Chains A and B, each alone.
Chain A
Amino acid sequence: MYGENYLLNVFVTPVGSPTWGACFLMCSKSSVADGVGGWRDYGVDPSQFSATLMRTCERLVKEGRFTPSSPVGILTSGYYELLQNKVPLLGSSTACIVVLDRRSHQLHTCNLGDSGFLVVRGGEVVHRSDEQQHYFNTPFQLSIAPPGAEGVVLSDSPEAADSASFDVQLGDIILTASDGLFDNMPDYMILQELKKLKSANYDSIQQTAQSIAKQAHELAYDPNYMSPFAQFACDNGLNVRGGKPDDITVLLSIVAEYTD
Chain B
Amino acid sequence: MLTLLSMFYYICLRRRSRSGTRGEALSSRRAVESGQRATLPISVEVEQYAKEVLDFSSHYGSENSMSYTMWNLAGMPNVYPSSGDFTQTAVFRAYGTWWEQCASAPLPFRRTPKAFHSQDYIELAFEEPVYPTAVEVLETYHPGAIVQIMACSLNPFSQNPPTDIRWEVLWAEEPTKVLTPQARQFSPSIKQLSFPTNLIRVEVNSSLLKYYTELDAVVLRGQKDRPILSLYKMPRIDICDLSDSDEDLSDPGHINLGNGYFDKLPYELIQLIVSHLTLPDLCRLTQTCKLLHQHCCDPLQYIQLSLQPYWARLSDTSLGHLQGRCTLLQRLNLSWTGNRGALTLTGFSSFMNACGGSLVCLELSCCHFLSEPCLEVISQTCPGLQELNLSSCDRLHPQAFTHISKLTQLRRLVLYRTKIEQTAMLSILTFCIELRHLNLGSCVMIEDYDVVASMLAVRCRSLRSLDLWRCRNLTERGLAELAAGCRLLEELDLGWCSTLQSSSGCFQHLARNLPCLRKLFLTANRTVCDSDIEELAANCPALQHLDILGTRMVSSSSLRKLLQACPKLLLLDVSFCSQVDARIVQELCGLFPNVAIKKSFTQ
**Chain A positions near chain B (C-beta within 8 angstroms):** 43, 59-60, 63, 65, 80-81, 83-88, 146-148
Bound Cα distance from A87 to B88, whole angstroms = 13
Please name all residues of chain A whose beta carbon is closer than 8 Å to the beta carbon of B555 when the two chains form the complex.
Answer: none
Q: Could you say which residues of chain A place their CB within 8 Å of the CB of B66?
A: 59-60, 63, 65, 81
Whole-angstrom distance between the Cβ of A107 and the nearest chain B Cβ: 26
Contacts of B65 in A (CB 8 A): 80-81, 84
A123 vs chain B, min Cβ distance (A): 43
Taking CB atoms, residues of chain A closer than 8 Å to B67 are 81, 84-85
Closest to B529 in A: A147
For the complex, what is the distance from the CA of A59 to the CA of B65, rounded to whole Å? Answer: 12
User: Is A86 a contact partner of B576 (Cβ separation < 8 A)?
Assistant: yes
Which of chain B's residues have a CB closer than 8 A to the CB of A80? 64-65
> Given contacts A86-B576, A88-B551, A148-B503, are A63 and B526 in contact (CB under 8 A)?
no
CA gap between A88 and B527 in the complex, in Å: 10
Residue in A60, A83, A86 with the greatest tally of chain B CB atoms within 10 Å: A86
B480 at the interface (CB under 8 A from A): no
15 A–B pairs (Cβ distance < 8 Å), ordered by A? A60-B66, A63-B75, A81-B66, A84-B67, A84-B68, A84-B87, A85-B87, A86-B524, A86-B576, A86-B600, A87-B576, A88-B526, A88-B578, A147-B502, A147-B527
Which of the residues A63, A83, A88, A148 comes within 8 Å of B576, measured between beta carbons? A88
Q: Is B61 close to A, CB under 8 A?
A: yes
Q: With a CB–CB cut-off of 8 A, which chain A residues contact B78?
A: 59
The 10 closest A-B pairs by CB, nearest first: A84-B67, A147-B527, A88-B550, A84-B65, A88-B526, A86-B576, A87-B576, A85-B87, A88-B552, A86-B550
B577: nearest residue on chain A (CB-CB)? A88
Residue from the set B61, B87, B524 with the largest chain A CB neighbour count within 10 Å:
B87
Contacts of B575 in A (CB 8 A): 86
Residue of A43, A83, A86, A147 near B85 (CB, 8 A) is A86
Chain A residue numbers with a CB within 8 Å of B87 are 81, 84-86
Complex formed: what's the CA distance from A147 to B532 in Å? 14
Cβ of B163 within 8 Å of any chain A Cβ, yes or no, is no
Contact residues of B between 583 and 601, Cβ < 8 Å to A: 600
A81 to B88, CA, bound (A): 11
Also in contact, A86 and B498, with CB within 8 A (given A80-B65, A147-B527): no
B105 at the interface (CB under 8 A from A): no
Q: Is the interface of A mostly helix, strand, loop or mixed?
A: loop
Give a binary string over B542-574; 1 marks a CB under 8 Å from any A CB, 0 the rest: 000000011111000000000000000000000
Q: How far is the CB of A66 from chain B (nearest CB, A)?
A: 12
A60 CA to B67 CA, complexed, in Å: 11
Which chain A residues lie closer than 8 Å to B578 at the CB level? Answer: 43, 88
| Cα(A85)–Cα(B498), bound, Å | 12
Q: How far is the CB of A59 from chain B (nearest CB, A)?
A: 7
Which residues of chain B have C-beta atoms less than 8 A from A85's C-beta? 67, 87
* Cβ-based interface call for B501 (8 A): yes
Q: How far is the CB of B502 from chain A (nearest CB, A)?
A: 7
Q: Is B602 an interface residue (CB 8 A)?
A: yes
Instruction: Give CA–CA (A80, B61) in the complex, Å.
Output: 12
CA distance A148 to B526 in the complex (A): 10
Q: With A and B bound together, what is the CA distance between A60 and B529 in angstroms?
A: 33
- Bound-complex Cα distance A86 to B495 (A): 11
Assembly CA distance A193 to B598 (angstroms): 58
Residues on B with beta carbons closer than 8 Å to the beta carbon of A147: 501-503, 526-527, 529, 552-553
Q: Which residue of A lies closest to B64 (CB)?
A: A80
- Taking a contact as CB atoms under 8 Å apart, the answer to whether A83 and B553 are in contact is no
Is the CB–CB distance between B602 and A84 below 8 Å? no
Q: From residue B462, how far is it (CB to closest CB) to chain A in Å?
A: 34
Task: Find out whether the CB atom of A87 lies under 8 angstroms from the CB atom of B551.
Answer: no
Q: How far is the CA of A121 from the CA of B501 in the complex (A)?
A: 52
Is B62 interfacial (CB-CB < 8 Å)? yes
How far apart are the CA atoms of A59 and B602 in the complex, in Å? 18
Report Cα–Cα, A58/B509, bound state, in Å. Answer: 42
A146 touches B552 (CB 8 A): yes
**Binary interface encoding of chain B residues 465-502 relative to chain A, with 1 for a CB under 8 A from any of its CBs, else 0:** 00000000000000000000000000000000010011
Are B88 and A59 in touch, CB under 8 angstroms?
A: yes
What's the minimum C-beta distance from B566 to chain A, rounded to whole angstroms?
24
Measured between alpha carbons, how far is A88 from B578 in the docked complex, in Å? 9
A85 to B575, CA, bound (A): 12
The answer for the CA separation of A151 and B337 in the assembled complex, in Å, is 51
Closest to B524 in A: A86
Of A43, A83, A87, which is in contact with the most chain B CB atoms at under 10 Å from its CB?
A87
- Nearest Cβ distance between residue A164 and chain B, in whole angstroms? 26
What is the chain A residue whose CB lies nearest that of B498? A83
How far does the Cβ of B483 sit from chain A's closest Cβ, in whole Å?
21
Determine the chain B residues whose CB is within 8 A of the CB of A87 once the complex forms: 550, 576, 602
Cα–Cα distance between A85 and B88 once the two chains are bound (Å): 10
Give Cα A80–Cα B66 distance, bound, in whole angstroms. Answer: 10
In the complex, residue of chain B having the shortest beta-carbon distance to the beta carbon of A44:
B552
Complex alpha-carbon distance, A148 and B75, angstroms: 40
Residue numbers in A under 8 Å from B602 (CB-CB): 87
CB distance from B192 to the nearest CB of A (A): 35
Closest Cβ of chain B to A77, distance in Å, is 8
For the complex formed, measure the closest distance between the CB of A229 and the CB atoms of chain B, giving whole angstroms.
Answer: 35
A176 CB → nearest B CB, Å: 25
CB distance from A9 to the nearest CB of B (A): 16
Chain B: minimal CB distance from A152 (Å):
14
* B contact residues around A43 at 8 Å (CB): 578
Among B67, B503, B576, B600, chain A packs the most CB atoms within 10 A around the CB of B67
Q: Which residues of A contact B529 (CB under 8 A)?
A: 147
Contact residues of B between 44 and 81, Cβ < 8 Å to A: 61-62, 64-68, 75, 78
B503 near A84 (CB under 8 angstroms)? no
| Nearest chain B residue, comparing its CB with the CB of A147 | B527
Chain B residues with CB under 8 A of A83: 498
Given contacts A81-B87, A86-B550, A147-B527, 14 further A-B contacts (CB under 8 A): A59-B88, A80-B64, A81-B65, A84-B65, A86-B87, A86-B524, A86-B549, A87-B576, A87-B602, A88-B550, A88-B578, A146-B552, A147-B526, A147-B552
| B64, B75, B85, B600 — most chain A CB neighbours (10 Å) | B64
| A118: min CB distance to chain B, Å | 33
- Which B residues are in CB contact (< 8 Å) with A65? 66
Q: In the bound complex, how far is the Cα of B64 from the Cα of A60, in angstroms?
A: 12
A202 to B552, CA, bound (A): 47
Instruction: Identify the closest chain B residue to A90 (Cβ).
Output: B552
> Which residues from chain B contact A86 at a C-beta distance below 8 Å?
68, 85, 87, 524, 549-550, 575-576, 600
B125 to A: closest C-beta gap in Å:
17
How far apart are A92's CB and chain B's nearest CB, in angstroms?
A: 16
In the complex, what residues of B have CB within 8 A of residue A60's CB? Answer: 66
Contact indicator per residue, chain B 495-533, by CB within 8 Å of chain A (1) or not (0):
000100111000000000000000000001011010000
Complex Cα distance A81/B61, Å? Answer: 10
Residues of B within 8 A of A81 (CB): 65-67, 87
CA distance A177 to B164 in the complex (A): 60
Contact residues, B316-370 vs A (CB, 8 A):
none
Bound state CA distance, A80 and B65, in angstroms? 8
Min C-beta distance of A35 to chain B, whole Å: 22
Interface string of B212-224 (1 = CB under 8 A from A): 0000000000000
Q: How far is the CB of A190 from chain B (nearest CB, A)?
A: 37
